[in-house]
Amino acid sequence: MDSQTPRVRIVMLPKDTNGLGNIFGGVILSHLDLAAGEHARRIAPLRYVTKVMREVEFIAPVKVGDTVSFYTETVKIGSTSITVKVLVTSERGIGKLEAIKVTEAEVVMVAVDADGSPTPIPTRK
């Protein structure tokens, strides 16, 4: 990961649960998406849409009260897209925090213009 600091960190609340009492997978996906977008915007502050989310496999459940962290790193900067790897971990516990890996995914963010068409990502000098 590019940093030990997560791009997004959030505490899960009862409003985020599914019928089993665990956190709804779609909630995790939405934060994963936001983390990838935020990562891309730090590379080039453009407008991005999510083109691809690859291989989201949930390894462990997330529970109410867990602190969920989304760490990001750059996989590839293309002409109009940035591929971002996102690692999701969850921490829980009283007295001692235990961190578990929840999932890991690659997200392709495409920079778009005001009409929604792909637009070039400026190369760094």
Ligand X SMILES: CC(C)(COP(=O)(O)OP(=O)(O)OC[C@H]1O[C@@H](n2cnc3c(N)ncnc32)[C@H](O)[C@@H]1OP(=O)(O)O)[C@@H](O)C(=O)NCCC(=O)NCCS
- Identify the DSSP state of 5: S
Q: CB of residue 2 vs ligand X: minimum separation in angstroms?
A: 19
- Out of 22, 67, 80, 119, the only residue in the binding site for ligand X (CB under 6 A) is 80
The interface with ligand X within residues 98-117 (CB under 6 A) comprises 108, 110, 112, 116
User: Which of 6/37 has CB closer to ligand X?
Assistant: 37
**Whole-number Å distance between alpha carbons of 42 and 95:** 35
Q: Does residue number 79 form part of the binding site for ligand X (CB under 6 A)?
A: yes
Contacts 24+ apart (CB under 8 A), 72-77: 72/1, 72/2, 72/7, 72/35, 72/36, 72/38, 72/39, 73/1, 73/2, 73/39, 74/2, 74/39, 74/43, 75/106, 77/43, 77/121
- Out of 69, 72, 81, 89, the only residue in the binding site for ligand X (CB under 6 A) is 81
- Out of 21, 26, 45, 78, the only residue in the binding site for ligand X (CB under 6 A) is 78
Q: CB of residue 51 vs ligand X: minimum separation in angstroms?
A: 5
Residues making contact with ligand X (CB under 6 A): 49-52, 78-81, 108, 110, 112, 116, 118
